[in-house]
Amino acid sequence: MAKKTLLLVEDDDDLLEVLRLTFEAEGFRCLVADNGEDALTLCRRHGPDLVILDLMLPGIDGIEVCTEIKRDRALSRTPILMLTAKSEESDVVLGLGVGADDYVTKPARPRELVARVRNILRRPLASDSVIADQVVSVGGVVIDPTRFEVRAGDLAIRLTPAEFKLLQVLAESPGRVFRRGDLLDSVVGPGTVVTERNIDTHVKSLRKKLGGHGDLIETVRGVGYRFTDEAT
């Protein structure tokens, strides 16, 4: 089986070398960049299987790099794991909101990083992982899995694959209360190292993107979330 290729983007030379040695020892092929411009060039040239991306980079920062990758039709499904010292909830929401598949704060444990990368790479691609092909329309929100498109009223909403699957799971069963663990299994699959707190972060980002339709996702205190059935 061909080696998976990782693009490691980090401006700390010592950490970059530790990451390279760690992942190469685990059988990965590694490309390295210490700034955003080189990261985008390598990504477009080589099409890596996954990008590990620092946020605080010289020149183009990690948020912009992530945004550019997700805007590129040829690269948009490339998984991105953000590895950064920025640990505020607003930073995590922003990172996941622009398309990151996972968010890890420094200092990170090498074995945990390897486990997270392997789990991300085991997930099905967005086009293969949708639950059903039929269009879902509820409460003014329209979800089209065949086109991977979401509209809220007259607005087209750009969602990450995880956000799309989360919204689809909720909207396909309006009124049903989903526990966080159940949503986690539906969105990223069972047996991953992602925590239930990530679901809360995804929901917060999803509500923000849905704008005036965001309150259709209701919090059931102590349990989880449901999509309101007021429109059904």
Q: What is the pLDDT of residues 73-125, one digit of tens each?
A: 788 889 999 998 887 877 787 777 788 888 888 888 888 899 999 988 886 55
Are the C-beta atoms of residues 111 and 26 closer than 8 Å to each other? Answer: no
Q: From CA 70, how far away is CA 180, in angstroms rounded?
A: 27
- For 21-48, the pLDDT digits (tens) are 999 999 999 999 999 999 999 999 999 9
Is 64 or 148 the better-scoring residue by pLDDT?
Answer: 64
Q: What is the pLDDT of residue 39?
A: 95
Are the C-beta atoms of residues 9 and 39 closer than 8 Å to each other? Answer: yes
Q: Which pair of tokens denotes residue 41?
A: 């060039």
- For 120-142, the pLDDT digits (tens) are 888 655 444 444 567 888 889 99
Please, how many CA atoms are within 13 Å of residue 88, restricted to the half-sphere of its CB?
Answer: 4
Q: What is the pLDDT of residue 225?
A: 93
Domains in the chain: ranges and CATH = 5-122 (3.40.50.2300), 127-227 (1.10.10.10)
For the residues of 145-203, what is the DSSP string, one character each?
Answer: TTTTEEEETTEEE---HHHHHHHHHHHTSTT--EEHHHHHHHHH-TT-S--HHHHHHHH
> How far is the CA of 128 from the CAs of 132, 136, 174, 227, in angstroms?
10, 18, 23, 24
- For 148-185, the pLDDT digits (tens) are 889 998 889 988 877 888 898 899 888 888 888 778 76
Q: How far apart are the first and last CA of the chain?
A: 49
Judge whether residue 231 has pLDDT over 50: no
User: Could you tell me the pTM of the whole model?
Assistant: 0.60
Q: From CA 164, how far away is CA 226, in angstroms rounded?
A: 15
Residue from 19, 94, 9 nearest 57 by CA: 9
The kind and range of the H/E element at 39 are helix 36-46
∠ at Cα 30 (27, 34), nearest 5°?
150
Asked if residue 107 has a cis previous peptide bond (ω within 30° of 0), the answer is yes
